[in-house]
Amino acid sequence: MTPSFRDLRFSSPAHVFGIAALSGFLMFLSIPIFDWWPLAWVALAPVMLVLHDTPRRMIAAGLTFGFVSGVGKVYWITETVVNYGGLNPILGLFSMSIVALLVGAYGFIFCIFVARTGWQSMLFPILASSVWTAMELLQTYLFTGFPWELLGYSQYRTLPIIQIANITGVYGVGFL
C-alpha cells in the first residue's frame, strides 16, 4: 500500500501548531511590505499537510494558521492604537489580537474545508482555490470589510501572472 498525505501523523500538538504557524508566517512574508512573492505559491502547503491529522489537531491547525496569518495582516494596529489612540500597549496587543482572530477566521474556514474535503478528488485544486477566493471575497465585503493583504497582492511585481487581474481583479490572481 502506498503512503499518502492522509497517512501523515505528527507526533505532538507542538508540531501541528508550528507547521500551521509557519504557513501563516509564510503568507505574511509574501505580502508587499517584504516582497518575498514566491512564498505565496507555497505558503499554504505546510498547513495543508497537518489538516489530515486528528479532528482536534485539524481545528488547532486551522485556528493557528488563521490567527498567525491574521496577525500578519493587522500587526500595525497595536502601534496605531497606542500612538494615536492613547491605549495602553497591553490593550493595544489585545485589540490587535481580536482583529487578527476576526480576519483569521476566513483562513480557519478554508482550513476546515480542506480538512473535510480531502485530496482524493481530481477537482480538489479547483475546489480549494474556489473556497480560498470565496473567503477573500467575504473578507473584503462581509463584516470586517478588510481588503488588505489578499494573496493576489503578493504578485504585484510579477507581470506575467498579474495580467489576469485585468479581467478578474486581485481575486483571480489569488485563485491561481
* pLDDT digits 0-9 by tens, 127-136: 888 888 888 8
Q: In the chain, at which residue ranges do the beta strands (DSSP E only) sit?
A: none
Distance CA 155, CA 40 (A): 8
The domains of the chain are located at 11-175
Q: Which residue has the cell 485556528?
A: 63
User: What does pTM read for this prediction?
Assistant: 0.81
> What confidence tens digit (pLDDT) does each residue in 145-165 have?
778 778 777 777 877 777 877
Calculate ∠ Cα 111-70-37, nearest 5°. 85
